[in-house]
Amino acid sequence: MALIVQKFGGTSVGGVERIRAVAERVTASHRAGHQVVVVVSAMSGETDRLLQLARALADAPAERELDTLLSTGEQVTIALLSMALEGIGQPAVSFTGGQVAIMTDSAHNRARIEHIDDHKIRAALDAGKIVVVAGFQGVDPHGNITTLGRGGSDTTAVALAAALHADECDIFTDVDGIYTTDPRVESRARRLDRITFEEMLEMASLGAKVLQTRSVEFAMKYHVPVRVLSSFQDGPGTLVTNEENSVEAPRVSGIAFSRNEAKITVVGVPDHPGIAYAILGPISAANINVDVILQNISEAGKTDFTFTVDRNDFAKTQGILQSVAQQLGAEDVRGDTHIVKVSVVGVGMRSHAGIAATMFETLARENINIQMISTSEIKISVVIEEKYLELAVRALHAAFALDGGAAA
């Protein structure tokens, strides 16, 4: 008998028929002799709908109240799935994050799970029930409801799998595995049989939303083998594991991209020591993450300082910079929200020179201007104009032969 955690995303529980199908599937696992913990997201579109309601009433809704609101989406699906299970004769019980004591810190809207009390879950499993837990939510030490950031149900599932020492953590979604790039952008993308934690972590943090970044961090830290599978068809999916392929790893394993980027340039700053700190210090103090950074060569004692932030933080960042720019004697602050970041990722890049050259050559051939570049051991990212996103992804996918063809 194994203990398995199965997570179903928004599309997979997007209507009553689909919820019924999930009930059938998890019951089959239970009847095969396993103990099953199910984690569900809100029905597809529901979290966005709730966000819109909030924004219609407040420009900057209080983060605590937002969490109280957003967590209701998942509360609906746990109850409906449990009813569906009981309806087909399968004993089940639903729990909100607070009810099973998924304890988080108090960082509303992006809380981190700190501790899970497995007591209630184990008792219910031992009583022969399927346990249905709300994804994406927890409770802080003061009893406030918290949420884990968009896509957070993945993290709930992996964290539960870790806490329960589960044998498997299956993430059921609307694609049948992890692909070389988002199959919605490049139809020639290829499903990977396996991917390393390290690569998946990089892909996720660079925008591949198939798994929330933090879920991959958890899986890596607690050695939880994660499999991504389709809710709608049978298949092997993709296993995220520690092991690298026994054959030589491909140089590049995938292309990730993020549309959620914005660029800000502080123009004509007097070039002397301390500029980067003067500009970025107040931004980090406001809890805003800065990503790619570029400082131009100084001309006539002045320089331009450019960096990217999450598009949701753009207005706030600009606000902070107005006064900073004035103090520094900068000429102007310019913003651009029509940019995206495209990245090639692969642990095999470590030992191969020339990946960057191929990437830049491919983009040049397509006449795509590179605005900024950032590299690490296993990825190269470029910032480009938004309208070239699809073109860039497809051209790079072909150039690195990710569809299985010959490299350019």
- Which residues make up the interface to ligand ASP (CB under 6 A)? 9-10, 41-42, 47, 73, 135-136, 150-154
Give min distance, CB of 155 to ligand ASP, in A: 8
Q: Helix-strand-coil percent breakdown of the chain, rounded to 5?
A: 35, 30, 35
Task: CB nearer to ligand ASP: give 13 or 125.
Answer: 13
Q: DSSP string spanning 321-353?
A: HHHHHHHHT-SEEEEEEEEEEEEEE-GGGGG-T
Angstrom CA distances, 70 to 18, 29, 144, 157, 283, stand at 21, 30, 13, 18, 27
Q: Which of ligand ADP, Mg ion, ligand ASP, none does residue 204 bind (CB under 5 to 8 Å by kind)?
A: none
Find which of Mg ion, ligand ASP, ligand ADP, none residue 136 binds, CB within 5 to 8 Å per kind: ligand ASP
- Does position 14 interact with Mg ion (CB under 5 A)? The reply is no
| Per-position x/- string for 141-170, each x denoting binding to Mg ion as judged by CB under 5 A, each - no binding | ----------x-------------------
**Which of ligand ASP, ligand ADP, Mg ion, none has residue 61 at its interface (CB below 5 to 8 Å by kind)?**
none
CB of 172 to ligand ADP, least distance (A): 7
Q: How far is the CB of 278 from ligand ASP (least distance, A)?
A: 35
Q: Is 127 exposed, middle or buried (0-12, 13-18, 19+ CB in 10 A)?
A: exposed
Considering the complex, what minimum distance in angstroms separates the CB of residue 331 from ligand ASP? 40
Compute the Cα dihedral for 224, 230, 233, 237 and give only its sign: negative
- Nearer CB in complex with ligand ADP: 104/212: 212
Nearer to ligand ASP, 155 or 306 (CB): 155
Q: Which does 135 bind (CB under 5 to 8 A by kind): ligand ADP, Mg ion, ligand ASP, none?
A: ligand ASP
Minimum CB separation of residue 10 from ligand ASP in Å reads: 5
Closest distance of CB 380 from ligand ASP, Å: 28
Residue 42 interacting entry, from ligand ADP, ligand ASP, Mg ion, none, C-beta within 5 to 8 Å by type: ligand ASP
Shortest Cβ 150–Mg ion spacing (Å): 8
Does residue 198 sit in helix, strand or coil? helix
User: Residue 243, Cβ neighbours under 10 Å: how many?
Assistant: 10
Contact criterion met (CB below 8 Å) for 356 and 326: no
92-95 and 137-139 as β-strands: parallel, antiparallel, unpaired? unpaired
287-to-205, 281, 312, 399, 406 alpha-carbon distances in Å = 17, 10, 12, 38, 44
Name the DSSP letter for residue 388: G
Site of interaction with ligand ADP (CB under 6 A):
9-12, 41, 151, 173-175, 178-179, 181-184, 208-210, 254
Question: Facing residues of 227 across strands?
Answer: 170, 239
d(CA 105, CA 102): 10
Residues that bind Mg ion (CB under 5 A): 9, 151
